[in-house]
Amino acid sequence: MEFSWDIIVSLGLVVLAHSIVYVFVMKKRAKSIDGRHVVVTGGSSGIGVCLAMECVTKGAHVTIIARDEKRLKAAVDQLELVRQRADQKIQYRSLDIGGDYEEVARVLAETEETVGPIYALLNCAGMAICGVFEEVSVRDVHKLMNVNFFGSYNCTRHVLPKMKRAREGIIVITSSQAAMFGIYGYGPYAASKYALRAMAETIAMESREHGVSVTLALPCDTNTPGFEEEEKSKPRETKIISGGGGLLKPEDMAKAILQDALKGNFISTVGAESWLITMLGGGLLPWDGFFTNLLHALVIGPLRLVGYGLHKYFNSIIRKCAKEDRAGDKVESK
Ligand SMILES: NC(=O)C1=CN([C@@H]2O[C@H](COP(=O)(O)OP(=O)(O)OC[C@H]3O[C@@H](n4cnc5c(N)ncnc54)[C@H](OP(=O)(O)O)[C@@H]3O)[C@@H](O)[C@H]2O)C=CC1
Ligand SMILES: CCCCCCCCCCCCCCCC(=O)[C@@H](N)CO
């Protein structure tokens, strides 16, 4: 066949026209949570309380779940300030979601009796304990798996089958950028977050045909009370590497999570760094719309080079820190 620019140009125009139609006409319509029951785990602090604020502002009945009653009460007071209607139900339940499944199911069922079926479950409760592998105690590893993995698993296990039967619903699973590639000092924490990512990918595929959408939130460092706490146990290598991803405001992350959840987007990230890491570490992510997946496929090859460049850079940070430590040891032993 003779090489013809006409064909290339017409193909280009067709792709461009499709993109324009997609962006301006076929824009995914956001679902509404007005008057619907939304449960936010971890809703007494950080990203969770910001998510709850967004939901109340959008007119939802909101139940927040966490353990500490004092913080829960303070959060409800904050939520009351953005109440939209007098009949809006805003309440809390004190519950260890990482504990016994039967207890979690009982509490969730009880809130459904008073407020109505759960339309959206926003799993945001979680915690981080950092340290190199042998520094994290066996007990803490169990704690991480219980709160982060089993907490979200327990709540989702109760709610998802009911949503499928109702043929509607929204599930958010909050994982982390640390579930996109292995990072120094995040071992057991990352394991719990990779587990959540795997669960989210699976239930997204299983729930499509039942009208339930699943969103995987992948925050980078976010300025919350939990973040301040984890900084205490964080090796400096981890701080430097993580710091490259920036520090988000919890309000911004929460806004993005809710918007993506309402649009039914699978991935929710904020910022160019997180987008890059997600493209690189995402592997074969679930179907998320033609143009999202096409873009992913087109950028992945060249981006790998950038990714391995980053790995070299991260290794140089770790080498530098190790050198400093050895120098420190020498001074001490003198
Ligand atoms: N901040 C960050 O840098 C990042 C955070 N994330 C993830 O985002 C989510 C929110 O983080 P962030 O806002 O920083 O966390 P915070 O520590 O500020 O808040 C955590 C919330 O979860 C609740 N919670 C913790 N354990 C349990 C439990 N066993 N049962 C019920 N509730 C529980 C806490 O309340 P209480 O203790 O009273 O139970 C609190 O409401 C977490 O899953 C975290 O891993 C991901 C990436 C980065
Ligand atoms: C040119 C582009 C440079 C890109 C640099 C990318 C840097 C890597 C970002 C990794 C961030 C990992 C954050 C994990 C946060 C988390 O889960 C904890 N806060 C626990 O709560």
259 closest CA partner among 300, 229, 217, 223: 217
Query: Are residues 68 and 123 part of one domain?
Result: yes
Q: Which CATH number characterizes residue 248's domain?
A: 3.40.50.720
Ligand 1: which residues within 6 Å by Cβ? Answer: 41-42, 44-48, 65-68, 71, 95-98, 124-128, 147, 151, 174, 176, 219, 221-222, 224-227, 250
User: Which helix (H) or strand (E) segment is 223 a member of?
Assistant: none
Ligand nearest to the CA of 234: 2
Classify residue 245 by its DSSP letter. Answer: T
In this structure, the answer to whether residues 76 and 140 fall within a common structural domain is yes
- Determine, yes or no, domain membership for 197: yes
The model's pLDDT over 4-49, given as tens digits with 9 standing for 90+, comes to 778 777 787 777 777 666 655 566 789 999 999 999 999 999 999 9
Tell me whether residue 6 is in a domain: no
User: Do 308 and 272 reside in the same domain of the chain?
Assistant: no
Residues 98 and 187 grouped into a single domain: yes
Q: For residues 303 and 247, what is the distance between their CA atoms, to the nearest angstrom?
A: 23
Between 72 and 4, whose confidence is greater? 72
CA 95 to ligand 2 center in whole angstroms: 30
pLDDT tens digits along 163-214: 999 999 999 999 999 999 999 999 999 999 999 999 999 999 999 999 999 9
Mean pLDDT of the chain: 94
The string of DSSP letters for 155-195 reads HHHHHHHHHHHHT-EEEEEE--GGGTS--TT-HHHHHHHHH
Nearest-ligand number for the alpha carbon of 311: 2
Residues 281-332: pLDDT tens digits?
Answer: 998 999 988 888 888 888 888 999 999 999 999 999 999 999 999 998 877 7
In a domain, 79, yes or no: yes
The fraction of the chain above a pLDDT of 90, given in percent, is: 84
pLDDT on residue 231: 96
Range of the domain at 174: 30-281
Is 309 found in the same domain as 166?
Answer: no
319 and 243 within one domain: no
Q: Are both 138 and 251 inside the same structural domain?
A: yes
In a domain, 237, yes or no: yes
User: Which residue, by CA, sits nearest to atom 1 of ligand 1?
Assistant: 222
Same domain for 325 and 263: no
* Prediction pTM value: 0.93
At residue 150's C-alpha, the angle toward residues 145 and 156, to 5°, is 150
Q: Is the Cβ–Cβ distance between 125 and 49 less than 8 Å? A: no
Total tally of structural domains belonging to the chain: 2
- Examine the domain organization and report whether 95 and 176 are in the same domain: yes
Domain boundary among 237, 253, 281: 281
- From the CB of residue 206, how many other CB atoms can be counted at a distance below 10 Å? 13
Say yes or no: 277 and 315 in one domain.
no
Helix-, strand-, coil-residue percentages of the chain, each rounded to 5? 60, 10, 30
**How many Å lie between the centroid of ligand 2 and the Cα of residue 100?**
32
Looking from the CA of residue 274, the nearest atom of ligand 2 is 9
Assess if residue 287 is contained within a domain.
Answer: no
10 is a domain residue: no
pLDDT of residue 173: 98
Sheet of 118-123: strand order equals 90-94, 61-66, 37-41, 118-123, 169-174, 212-217, 267-268
pLDDT in tens, 97-123: 999 999 999 999 999 999 999 999 999
117 and 202 fall within a common domain? yes
Angle, vertex CA 270, rays to CA 237 and CA 179, nearest 5 = 50
Query: Do 162 and 38 belong together in one domain?
Result: yes
Q: Is there a domain that residue 11 lies in? A: no
Residue at 208 is within a domain = yes
Residues in a beta bridge with 91: 63
**Spatial distance between the Cα atoms of 58 and 127, rounded to a whole number of angstroms:** 27
